[in-house]
Amino acid sequence: MSAENRLQIIQGDICQLDVDAIVNAANSSLLGGGGVDGAIHRAAGPELVNECRDLHGCKTGNAKITAGYNLPARHVIHTVGPVWDGGVYDEDALLLSCYRRSCELMREHQLSSIAFPCVSTGIYGFPIERACRIALGELLAQLSAHASIERIICCCFSRYDHEIYDRTLEELRDNNAAE
Ligand code: AR6
């Protein structure tokens, strides 16, 4: 199957997805927070933060894996996106690295399906259109390069984000067709 057919864009709560791994948009302590991080910890139960304590944090742009506990997902991949600060502090490269490292971890653990939230675009303030182009570009590249990845879901929380993802995917498709 082509890369595009293995990429799905949905609107919903990532905590409800039955996949090998969901990605958490965490902070560098990995000890929980608000937004999707808070929702994942609440749904997974207290054992998740116990395992996270043993990970001793995570650098921006990197990712670490735990079990999923009470979630339908078997694992949680915790990644730390950059805080948006005008785009001149390597935010683009750090965000791309979140997606890349999460896919690398997934492959290292022989997982075949993964769901991502819109990392950094909530509390961390990364502009959604720009983040979306980075996310979709990298995820399509990962799918093309690695046949072992069966399914990637971009799980948008709002209808607004969902529309941006759909439109951006369309643009990327048109650009590829024109090349
Ligand atoms: N399912 C899917 N997406 C969600 C959900 C959910 N249940 N809840 C929120 N979102 P954010 P960040 C979306 O703020 O910007 C935390 O305190 C949300 O609408 O969760 O990377 C961490 O501990 C947005 O589109 O993450 C860090 O301190 C996206 O998830 C900080 O926030 C990301 O928004 C990280 O900020």
Q: Residue of the nearest CA to atom 27 in ligand 1?
A: 27
Alpha-carbon span 175 to 79, nearest angstrom = 29
| Pocket flag, ligand 1, residue 35 (CB < 6 Å) | yes
Structural domains of the chain ordered from first start: 4-178 (3.40.220.10)
pLDDT band at 177 (very low <50, low <70, confident <90, very high): confident
72 Cβ neighbours under 8 A, 6+ residues apart: 16, 17, 18, 19
For residue 21, give the nearest of 92, 97, 79, 80 by alpha carbon. Answer: 79
pLDDT of residue 155: 99
pLDDT of residue 176: 78
Q: Residue of the nearest CA to atom 12 in ligand 1?
A: 120
Give the residue-averaged pLDDT of 113-141.
98
pLDDT of residue 45: 98
pLDDT of residue 1: 84
Alpha-carbon span 19 to 35, nearest angstrom = 20
Q: Which two tokens stand for residue 99?
A: 């997606």
pLDDT in tens, 17-68: 999 999 999 999 999 999 999 999 999 999 999 999 999 999 999 999 999 9
Alpha-carbon span 103 to 98, nearest angstrom = 9
Query: Measured in angstroms, how far is the CA atom of residue 167 from the centroid of ligand 1?
Result: 21
28 Cβ neighbours under 8 A, 6+ residues apart: 57, 58, 59, 60, 80
Question: Could you tell me if 172 and 141 are in contact, meaning their C-beta atoms sit under 8 angstroms apart?
Answer: no
CA angle 154, 157, 161 (to 5 degrees): 75
Alpha-carbon span 99 to 179, nearest angstrom = 25
Alpha-carbon span 41 to 38, nearest angstrom = 5
pLDDT of 179 higher than 80:
no
What mean pLDDT is reported for the chain?
97
pTM (2 decimals)?
0.98
Give the residue-averaged pLDDT of 134-146.
97
Q: Residue of the nearest CA to atom 33 in ligand 1?
A: 122
Provide the percentage of residues in the chain whose pLDDT is more than 70.
100
pLDDT of residue 26: 98
